[in-house]
Amino acid sequence: MQGYSRPLASLALISLLCMVLSVSIGSAALTLADTWAVLTGAGTPLQQTLVLELRLPRTLSAFATGGLLAVAGALMQVLLRNPLADPYILGLSGGAAVGALFAMLAGLAGVLVSGSAFAGALLATFLVFGLAHGTGSWTPSRLLLTGVVVAAGWGAIITLILAISPARQLPGMLYWLMGDLSHAGSPVPALVLLTMVCGLVFPLGRSLNVLARGALQAAALGVSVRRLEWLIYVLASLLTATAVSMAGSIGFVGLVVPHMLRLVFGNDQRLILPACALAGGSLLVLADTLARVVIAPEQLPVGVITALLGVPTFLYLLYRSR
Amino acid sequence: MNPLQARDLVIDIPGRADGKALNFVIQPGQIWGVLGPNGAGKTTLLHTLAGLRAPRAGEISLGNHPLAHLKRKKVSQQLGLVFQERQDGFPATVLETALIGRHPWLSPWHMETGDDEGIARRSLEQLDLADLSGRLVNTLSGGERQRVAIATVLTQAPDTWLLDEPTNHLDLHHQVSVLQLLTEQAHAGNAIFMCLHDLNLAARWCDHLLLLYPNGDVCWGPAEQMLVPAALERLYGQELLTVEVDGAPVFVPRKTG
């Protein structure tokens, strides 16, 4: 039970390395020494612009997005008592996508698209929660079914929007749907949110561990189950909505990262959740670096890379676990 | 300790008439057995007494306080429940599982200490599980998992134990050692209230019995007054033969046809 510091310190070190690597690689390659010089305040003005103004914000956005998604996935898994749940499982990304695509269809761009995606994600959250909660009986299976069906509904609306949109808008929409960090905006709010949630998780962690063993068992051990489930749901939704509005719907990070970490570190949420923040962030930083360089100067949507990495990894894990 | 008390309690089983309301106190040192056929509401009764289900009518109190007004954490320091069904969505070791019994006693800001782990390990030893402490629970047999569940409540150390079929899946020796453990708990001043399927285990180990009929009818009292063959035959809809062993009655189903 003790000894969280070592795994977390190693993961933090890996995260730092991934970020330095990501900042160094690009159209104008820098040596690690150059990058380090810039990060510590030296380097030429060109290098400074390149690193501090162009690459670092994007790298931090990737880190924050990946961390948010992985933590949200881990929380959803506890909420639904299902290790195969992901942050989008309740249709939140569908709501966000509909919000974003409507904004694009209306000719909006930038912050307005993000804001609209965020609003769509929250709408989706309340819709699913309200429907699943309807008669007062709220079970994980009911929540899951409601979420999956509502997600199918969002899917239909997304297809409809794509079908009626003018051809010149389609590439932007498809990029958004596959996840893209090039319009992420400032990473600061997301990083603050991520840090706050990791801080909150410590006092909540043991209750989450108990809840993972079932609602009745948790209640018998003194957990206020309904209140805790509400809190997890709201937190996970807020994290996912923030991530989706920054970078579109990026798949597999929220599913694969918590699952892999559970295989390695066990199922103590006090370790898993901060570990998810670090590992999810690192994974997306690496994926985004690949997305930038594979067919440079063109960029791939980062969601394609995470899916291409995530699908085989996940199938392998699933195959191994049976 | 604060004894658990049912006052004019009617458990809520959909589609069933109210039947007779329950009025009893589970006093320190007592061992209660709940007998009844499948579907009579034994599990519902236990969950209602633990405050996990709302009753249709009446009130449950712990000491002088209505259970519904107490904080779940306070309740869980006094009341432990061994469930009949357990779900394990996520893998966990035997020791980790027993250790969650300490949850009611720890503040959110504190980690489990070596002391907590010591308590959990001693509970595992008492249930013959010390050698399995590093194993994943989902790789254990049904009987071993049953003992892990009991060890978890032993770690929780409540005054009042509610147990749903604690001898399920257990071999004969472990049935006896679990009932022996519960008897020790009662002698130490705790109270035991358990559903049992085995009439003879109940006759042998319980000092109070509660008979739960499928129509909602119910009666309770000291064991020797409840072990009336005619009442038991009506309870299970099964003819019984009674023999006496060691001065206590043993019930054997009559073979028909």
Distance between CA atoms of residues A211 and A219, nearest Å: 8
**What letter represents residue A321's amino acid?**
S
Cβ of A112: how many Cβ atoms within 10 Å? 14
**Closest chain B C-alpha to A270 CA, distance in angstroms:** 10
Q: What is the mean pLDDT of chain B?
A: 93
Q: Which residues pair with B194 in a beta bridge?
A: B33, B163
Flag if B52 and A219 touch (Cβ within 8 Å): yes
**Closest chain A C-alpha to B180 CA, distance in angstroms:** 24
**What letter represents residue A11's amino acid?**
L
pLDDT for the residue numbered A219: 94
Local confidence pLDDT in tens for the 322 residues of chain A: 457 889 999 999 999 999 989 988 877 777 777 888 887 877 788 888 888 888 889 999 999 999 999 999 999 999 888 887 888 888 888 898 899 899 988 888 777 888 888 899 889 888 888 887 766 566 778 888 888 899 999 999 999 999 999 988 888 888 888 888 877 778 888 999 999 998 888 889 999 999 999 889 999 999 999 899 889 988 988 899 889 888 888 888 998 899 889 888 888 999 999 999 999 999 999 999 998 888 877 888 888 888 888 888 778 877 776 5
Query: Is A5 within a domain?
Result: no
What letter would DSSP give residue B222? E
Distance between CA atoms of residues A198 and A204, nearest Å: 10
**Closest chain B C-alpha to A63 CA, distance in angstroms:** 27
pLDDT for the residue numbered A108: 81
Query: Is A4 within a domain?
Result: no
Mean pLDDT over B125-135 rounds to 95
SS3 B179: helix
pLDDT for the residue numbered A41: 78
Residue that has been written with the tokens 């809809």 in this structure: B237
**Closest chain A C-alpha to B145 CA, distance in angstroms:** 14
Cβ of A219: how many Cβ atoms within 10 Å? 23
Flag if B91 and A219 touch (Cβ within 8 Å): no
Flag if B109 and A217 touch (Cβ within 8 Å): no
Flag if B89 and A82 touch (Cβ within 8 Å): yes
pLDDT for the residue numbered A137: 60
Find out whether A70 and A255 touch, Cβ atoms under 8 Å: no
Distance between CA atoms of residues B131 and B125, nearest Å: 8
Distance between CA atoms of residues B176 and B187, nearest Å: 16
What CATH number is associated with residue B184?
Answer: 3.40.50.300
SS3 A84: coil
pLDDT for the residue numbered A186: 83
Render pLDDT for B15-25 as a digit per residue (tens, 0 to 9): 888 889 999 99
Query: Is A47 within a domain?
Result: yes
Flag if A262 and B77 touch (Cβ within 8 Å): no
pLDDT for the residue numbered A1: 41
Q: Quick one: angle between helices A269-293 and A5-24, nearest 10? A: 10
Give me the residues of B, 154-183, that contact A with CB < 8 A. Answer: 156
Mean pLDDT over B141-157 rounds to 96
Render pLDDT for B92-116 as a digit per residue (tens, 0 to 9): 899 999 999 999 999 988 888 999 9
Domain that includes residue A284, residue range: 10-321
Residue that has been written with the tokens 């049935």 in this structure: B175
Mean pLDDT over B240-252 rounds to 88
Find out whether A121 and A68 touch, Cβ atoms under 8 Å: no
Render pLDDT for B192-242 as a digit per residue (tens, 0 to 9): 999 999 999 999 999 999 999 988 899 999 999 999 999 999 999 999 999
Closest by CA to A69, choosing from A280, A282, A307, A301, is A280
Domain that includes residue B23, residue range: 4-253
Tell me how many domains chain A contains. Answer: 1
Flag if A207 and B106 touch (Cβ within 8 Å): no
Stronger pLDDT, B55 or A41, i.e. the higher one? B55
What CATH number is associated with residue A41?
Answer: 1.10.3470.10
How many Cα atoms are found within 13 Å in the side-chain-facing hemisphere of B167?
23
Question: B86 contacts in A (CB within 8 Å)?
Answer: 213-214, 217
pLDDT for the residue numbered B33: 97
Distance between CA atoms of residues B154 and A32, nearest Å: 57
**Edge-first strand listing for the sheet containing B57-62:** B22-26, B4-10, B57-62, B65-66
Whether the pLDDT of residue B42 is over 60: the answer is yes
**Of A204, A222, A267, Cβ closest to residue B104:** A222
Sort A99 into a burial class: Cβ within 10 Å, 0-12 / 13-18 / 19+. Answer: buried
Q: Is A231 an 8 Å CB contact of chain B?
A: no
**Of A1, A83, A204, Cβ closest to residue B90:** A83
pLDDT for the residue numbered A321: 66
Alpha helices, DSSP H only, in chain A?
A: 5-24, 32-39, 45-48, 56-79, 92-105, 111-133, 140-164, 170-178, 188-211, 215-220, 225-247, 253-265, 269-293, 302-321
Evaluate whether ipTM surpasses 0.90. Answer: yes
What letter would DSSP give residue B110? P
Q: Is A223 an 8 Å CB contact of chain B?
A: yes
Q: Is B92 an 8 Å CB contact of chain A?
A: yes
Query: Which of A75, A82, A221 should be substituted to probe chain B, the one whose Cβ sees the most B Cβ atoms within 10 Å?
Result: A221
Closest by CA to B181, choosing from B168, B171, B166, is B166
Q: Is A29 an 8 Å CB contact of chain B?
A: no
Question: B71 contacts in A (CB within 8 Å)?
Answer: 222
Query: Which of A202, A217, A261 should be substituted to probe chain B, the one whose Cβ sees the most B Cβ atoms within 10 Å?
Result: A217
CB–CB contacts below 8 A, A to B: 86
